[in-house]
Each structure stands twice: as structure tokens, then as C-alpha cells.
């Protein structure tokens, strides 16, 4: 298959539809939270919008990953994208560091970002309290880099999980601030997107908080995880001593398991366990067994495709190359407009 597009094709391609941009950091394996918060929507959106999905390797540098791990993780995210059904011919799939226009726009936007507003970002404040030994400027300016990623392609829709809500608000502010400062209308306002529903938060298995890659592996279920490991993790998930009467509100750990169940199980199954809880007769062992089997059934086909695709080096390198070309065609156009707006022009 020839993935190359002519210049005319690009022009047609780039002005066709509404723009969508979103990315995933290559900081570990992709889990159910990444899938239901973001990647599931990526797949649906590629059929109806002009989508740019990237692997955010620059973002992952805030934690100083080992270079060999970083390289392997970028590959793994790409394999997962393809295994989940993303199609390099329908969407632009690229690696963030293949697009030099991103750091350029990031630098320019940094001149418009206030230290105070960056310091007030909730994720930054969390990091500041947890990891004082590595509180680098990259963490502080994370929302600026994220804005550059998004507005470089003039995105209007950003399919992300609920954890990104505040960052997106900042992206809107930075985009508007640029337009105002330079008296132009280069950037539209990017909005979080989940097909009209609220943004999703998939909780972890440890009773509290969201499913995440960095919580030591016990609270997340990975799309490529083997069935036995999934079963063990789910059976060890935190619950409580059980309801002490009828019609009690769900406690946080149980509500979390039900939330994961809502993502992977049928509505009847969810209702069955909710009724049992309301009746005060729920057996958490049964709930977990059912949840484990439903997660295994859900992830098995994705895992099988991941194993297949990870052997296909030609497909992987073709995808990355095509994505870089398409992303650069779009990004270089925006950077040209930005340079003109701010008065940086070529004199030769
Ligand atoms: P990250 O792994 O932080 O790069 O996140 C990639 C995408 O997955 C982002 O759109 C996040 O909002 C989304 N995401 C990460 N964790 C969760 C979660 N537990 N629930 C829902 N969405 C999530």
C-alpha cells in the first residue's frame, strides 16, 4: 500500500473536517482508563473528523525515563493504538518529537503563560507536594506544552479523560491570549470531548483515586495484560466489610469497582450487583469474579492484535513515517501564521 499523499491530497485532507487532537504519554502500558477516557473515542472520531493522535514522548521526559525504556514504550503505545483500531490512513498517528513545530510553539506560548497560573494547576500542586526531589520546570509548564500540541493543529475537539479538564481550560486561555496579544484569530478554542457525555474517569483497583500507570501497577489493568494476571489483580482489589443494611450508598471502593464494571460489563450485570448491594446480600467475591471475566473478555481481542502487530516492524515504521509527514504538513502551516503574527519573518 502506498501511504504517500500528494500536496493536493494534503490540502484537501487538511481543510476537510473538524480538527481533533489528543495524545498519550509513553510512560508505561496502556490501561483501561486510557482506553475508556481517550482511545475508545479516538477510534470513533477517526470516522467523522480530521484526527491527530500522538505519542507524547516529550511530556514523559519530566520523569527522566531510561532511554531504552522510552523507546520501547513509544513503540508499545503505537502498537496499542493500531490494535485498538486506529487506522493510519484515516487518522494522523505520530510521535510528538517528530514534529519540531511543537517545541517552537511551546517556547512562544511560554512567553504568554504566567508563573502564578501555572503554579496553581492542581496536577502541579500534587506533584509539588509528592516529589520535591524532581520538581522541574517541565512539570510546571506541562499545560503550555499540552496547549502547543493541541492548538498547533487548530483543534476544536480534544477527546481526553476527566483528569485533563483543568489543563484544557488553560489551553483555551492560552489560545485566546495569543489571539488577543497578536490581534489575530489563528487559534480556535479547544473543548474536551466525549460525544456529549461528561468526561470519563476510570478509578483504580486500590479503593481510591483514578486508574494510573504510575501507581505501581496494582491499581491498573493493562490492555495487553495476560488473563491470569488480570484475574489476580481484580480478586485483590480493595473493597470493604460489606453493607451493614439495605439501601445503603455505595462506599468509594465498591463504587470504583462498579464504575470499572460499567465500562466492560453488560448493563444487566451491573444492575444485578447493584440490586444485591441494595439488598445487603452482595458477595464481593462473586462481583470480582464476574468483573475479572468481563475484563478478560474485553481485553483478549486487543491483546491478541497487540501480539500480532508488535511483530510487524514494517507496519510500525510505515505508520510513524506517514504520521510525521501529515503532522508536519499541518503544523508547519500554523507555525508560518504564528511567525507572521508575532513579527518573526524570514529576511532571506
Ligand atoms: P496519560 O497516560 O496521562 O498520557 O493519559 C492519556 C489519556 O488517557 C488522557 O486523555 C487521559 O485523560 C486519559 N486517562 C488517563 N487515565 C485515565 C483514567 N483513569 N480514566 C479516564 N481517562 C484517563
Is the beta carbon of 34 within 6 A of some atom in ligand 1? yes
CA 211 to ligand 1: nearest atom: 19
- The per-residue pLDDT for 132 is 85
CATH class, range 7-200+312-342? alpha beta
Each domain of the chain, given as residue ranges in start order, spans: 7-200+312-342, 214-306
- Interval between CA 81 and ligand 1 midpoint (Å): 14
To test the ligand 1 pocket, which listed residue (24, 25, 31, 37) has its Cβ within 8 A of the most ligand atoms? 37
Q: State the sign of the Cα–Cα–Cα–Cα dihedral 188, 194, 196, 202.
A: negative
CA 161 to ligand 1: nearest atom: 12
CATH class, range 214-306? mainly alpha
CA 213 to ligand 1: nearest atom: 2
Nearest Cα residue to 33 out of 146, 234, 199: 199
Is the beta carbon of 220 within 6 A of some atom in ligand 1? no
CA 22 to ligand 1: nearest atom: 10
Q: What is the pTM of this model?
A: 0.92
Question: Which residue's CA is minimally distant from atom 15 of ligand 1?
Answer: 34
Tens digits of pLDDT across the chain (348 residues): 344 444 445 444 444 579 999 999 999 999 999 999 999 999 999 999 999 999 999 999 999 999 999 999 999 999 999 999 999 999 999 999 999 999 999 999 999 999 999 999 999 999 889 888 889 999 999 999 999 999 999 999 999 999 999 999 999 999 999 999 999 999 999 999 999 999 999 999 998 889 997 666 789 999 999 999 999 999 999 999 999 999 999 999 999 999 999 999 999 999 999 999 999 999 999 999 999 999 999 999 999 999 999 999 999 999 999 999 999 999 999 999 999 999 997 766
- Interval between CA 102 and ligand 1 midpoint (Å): 21
Catalytic entry in 162, 210, 262, 289: 210
Tally the residues of the chain: 348
| 162 carries an active-site annotation | no
Residue pair 319/82 in contact (Cβ under 8 Å)? The answer is yes
Question: Which residue's CA is minimally distant from atom 6 of ligand 1?
Answer: 24
Nearest Cα residue to 74 out of 44, 91, 97, 99: 97
What span, in angstroms and rounded, lies between the C-alpha atoms of 220 and 229? 11
Is the beta carbon of 199 within 6 A of some atom in ligand 1? no
Is the beta carbon of 303 within 6 A of some atom in ligand 1? no
Q: State the sign of the Cα–Cα–Cα–Cα dihedral 154, 160, 163, 165.
A: positive
What span, in angstroms and rounded, lies between the C-alpha atoms of 217 and 77? 17
Catalytic entry in 213, 233, 288, 326: 213
- The per-residue pLDDT for 224 is 97
Query: What's the burial of 6, exposed, middle or buried (CB within 10 Å: 0-12/13-18/19+)?
Result: exposed
| 210 carries an active-site annotation | yes
Amino acid at each position: 500500500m502506498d501511504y504517500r499523499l500528494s500536496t493536493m491530497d494534503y490540502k484537501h485532507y487538511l481543510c476537510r473536517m473538524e480538527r481533533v487532537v489528543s495524545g498519550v504519554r509513553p510512560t508505561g502500558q496502556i490501561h483501561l482508563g486510557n482506553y475508556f477516557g481517550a482511545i475508545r473515542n479516538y477510534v470513533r472520531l477517526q470516522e467523522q473528523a480530521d484526527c491527530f493522535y500522538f505519542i507524547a514522548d516529550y511530556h514523559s521526559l519530566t520523569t527522566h525515563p531510561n532511554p531504552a525504556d522510552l523507546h520501547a514504550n513509544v513503540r508499545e503505545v503505537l502498537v496499542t493504538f493500531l490494535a485498538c483500531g486506529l487506522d493510519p490512513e484515516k487518522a494522523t498517528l505520530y510521535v510528538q518529537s517528530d514534529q519540531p513545530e511543537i517545541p517552537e510553539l511551546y517556547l512562544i506560548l511560554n512567553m504568554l503563560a504566567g508563573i502564578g497560573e501555572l503554579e496553581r494547576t492542581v496536577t502541579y500542586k500534587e506533584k509539588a507536594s509528592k516529589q520535591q526531589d524532581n520538581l522541574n520546570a517541565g512539570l510546571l509548564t506541562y499545560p503550555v506544552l499540552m496547549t502547543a500540541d493541541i492548538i498547533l493543529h487548530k483543534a476544536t475537539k480534544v477527546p481526553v479523560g476527566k483528569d485533563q479538564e483543568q489543563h484544557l481550560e488553560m489551553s483555551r486561555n492560552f489560545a485566546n491570549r495569543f489571539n488577543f496579544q497578536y490581534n489575530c484569530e489563528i487559534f480556535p478554542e479547544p473543548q474536551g470531548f466525549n460525544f456529549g457525555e461528561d468526561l470519563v474517569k476510570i478509578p483504580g483497583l486500590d479503593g481510591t483515586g483514578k486508574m494510573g500507570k504510575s501507581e505501581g501497577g496494582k491499581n491498573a489493568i493493562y490492555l495487553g495484560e495476560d488473563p491470569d494476571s488480570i484475574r489476580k489483580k481484580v480478586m485483590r482489589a480493595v473493597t470493604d466489610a460489606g453493607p451493614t443494611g439495605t439501601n445503603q450508598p455505595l462506599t468509594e471502593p465498591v463504587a470504583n469497582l462498579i464504575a470499572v464494571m460499567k465500562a466492560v460489563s453488560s448493563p444487566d450485570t451491573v444492575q444485578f450487583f447493584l440490586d444485591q448491594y441494595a439488598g445487603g446480600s452482595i458477595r464481593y467475591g462473586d462481583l470480582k469474579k464476574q468483573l475479572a471475566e468481563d475484563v478478560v473478555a474485553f481485553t483478549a481481542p486487543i491483546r491478541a492484535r497487540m501480539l500480532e502487530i508488535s511483530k510487524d516492524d514494517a507496519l510500525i515504521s510505515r505508520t510513524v513515517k506517514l504520521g510525521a509527514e501529515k503532522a508536519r504538513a499541518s503544523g508547519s502551516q500554523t507555525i508560518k501564521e504564528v511567525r507572521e503574527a508575532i513579527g518573526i519573518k524570514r529576511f532571506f
